[in-house]
Amino acid sequence: MTPAELAARLPKAELHIHIEGSLEPELIFALAQRNSVALPYASVDALRQAYAFTDLQSFLDIYYAGASVLLHEADFFDMAWAYLQRAHADHVIHAEIFFDPQTHTARGVDIGVVIAGLRRACDKAQAEFGMTSALILCFLRHLSEADAFATLEAALPYRGHFIGVGLDSSEVGHPPSKFSRVFARCRELGLRIVAHAGEEGPPAYIREALDDLRAERIDHGVRSLEDPALVAELARRRTPLTVCPLSNLKLCVVNDLREHPMKRLLDAGLCATVNSDDPAYFGGYLNANFVQTVQALDLSREQVITLARNSFEASFIDDATRASYLARVEALAG
Ligand code: HPA
Ligand SMILES: [Zn+2]
């Protein structure tokens, strides 16, 4: 088996997937029709042609437009179930799934409707595939602290249905410290903490995510490499980075996958993981990210196994489940 074939076949956890970013153009159009929502694109092809991004914001504008077709519990279920089936096909045995409630509540959709649809899909994946999953509520950082607090308040009746909180959307100009008080409250509630940092933003944002928000994982974090002291700190703490290679390519964080920092992150001893971010927009699900990265960087069999192990080390599953999942990696790694 080549390293790329092994990567595709190994059991893995996916820890950085925005469920709204798994909405394929075909499903966007089907839901638009079902819900009588008008789209600013004439066809699936016209929409796909708009997927030529120059940076994070140029993507986010289209991503939020796509999410406008989501209104009812069944829509959230259909979206998440489509993702979970694809993830299962890629040998994802555990997924921690981001959702953006403010994108929906701003359009009058009740947060309970969002969570109910997503949870029903997760329960079905557990029943049909034995796949475990969890939801992570993300605050949109381009909105205010007050809006984040209101969102947290609205989510509290569903506290048992999500395990943690994250921070996403437009990074530059919206440092993690803007949400220090919100995340302090989330920690009091026993929520797990992650945050996007160092995707387009500077290494200082990663430090703020660690120190001000007490993030347990950094989403992206690729710009940490610009600050050797920060890299040493991340390695010492074993703070995982949920890296998304095809996203970095499509959003012009890197110009070529052969220049992707994944190998340097692994060489620095960091707990880096591979993830798909917004697979419907960035050209592939988890195995596409693995296979293309392994080939572009000529990663070794041992590095591939490390990435699979890291995905479980970085996950929020309980220790017994983690041990059983790691044993499944070892059984295939040989
Ligand atoms: O890659 C991302 N970065 C920030 N916000 C996001 N929301 C969806 N995807 C992303
Ligand atoms: Zn992301």
Residue 241 β-bridge partners: 218, 272
Which residue's entry shows tokens 């983690």?
322
Task: Report the amino acid identity of residue 59.
Answer: F
Ligand 1 contact via 168 beta carbon (within 6 Å) = yes
Is 161 a known ligand-binding residue?
no
Which stretches of the chain score pLDDT less than 70? none
Q: What does the block give as tokens for 275?
A: 């993830």
Please report the pLDDT score of residue 109 as a whole number.
Answer: 98
Query: How many angstroms separate the alpha carbon of residue 253 from the centre of ligand 2?
Result: 13
Q: Per-residue b/e over 13-35, b at no fewer than 16 CB within 10 Å?
A: bbbbbbbbbbbbbebbbebbeee
Tokens of 94: 């555990």
Single-letter code of the amino acid located at 238: R
Among 196, 199, 219, 281, which residue has the most ligand 1 atoms within 8 Å of its CB, making it the best to mutate? Answer: 196
Q: At what angle do helices 145-155 and 180-188 cross, to 10 degrees?
A: 20
Residues 6+ positions from 186 with CB-CB distance below 8 Å = 152, 164, 165, 193
Distance CA 97, CA 56 (A): 20
Q: Give one DSSP letter per residue of 175-191, joined into a string.
A: -GGGGHHHHHHHHHTT-
pLDDT of residue 156: 98
Q: Classify residue 108 by its DSSP letter.
A: T
Where residue 152 sits, what CATH number does that domain have?
3.20.20.140
Query: Cα(224)–Cα(234) distance, rounded to whole angstroms?
Result: 9
ipTM for this prediction = 0.96
DSSP state letter for 91:
T
Q: Please list, in sequence order, all residues whose beta carbon lies within 8 angstroms of the beta carbon of residue 56, skipping any fewer than 6 positions away.
A: 170, 171, 199, 200, 251
Most informative mutation of 15, 169, 248 for ligand 1 (most atoms within 8 A of CB): 169
Which residues are CB-contacts of 146 (< 8 A; sequence separation ≥ 6)? none
Ligand 1 atom with the shortest distance to the CA of 244: 1
Rounded Cα distance between 78 and 20, Å, is 11
Q: Quote the domain boundaries for residue 209.
A: 3-333
- CB of 166 within 8 A of CB of 138? yes
Q: Put the strands of the sheet holding 92-99 in their side by side order.
A: 12-18, 92-99, 132-140, 164-168, 192-197, 217-220, 241-243, 272-274
SS3 content of the chain, % helix, strand, coil (to 5): 60, 15, 30
Q: Is 55 annotated as a binding residue?
A: no
According to the annotation, is 278 in a ligand binding site? yes
**Beta-carbon count within 10 A of 145 CB:** 14
Residue 196 Cβ contacting ligand 1 at under 6 Å: yes
**Residue type present at position 220:** H
pLDDT of residue 334: 83
Count of domains observed in the chain: 1
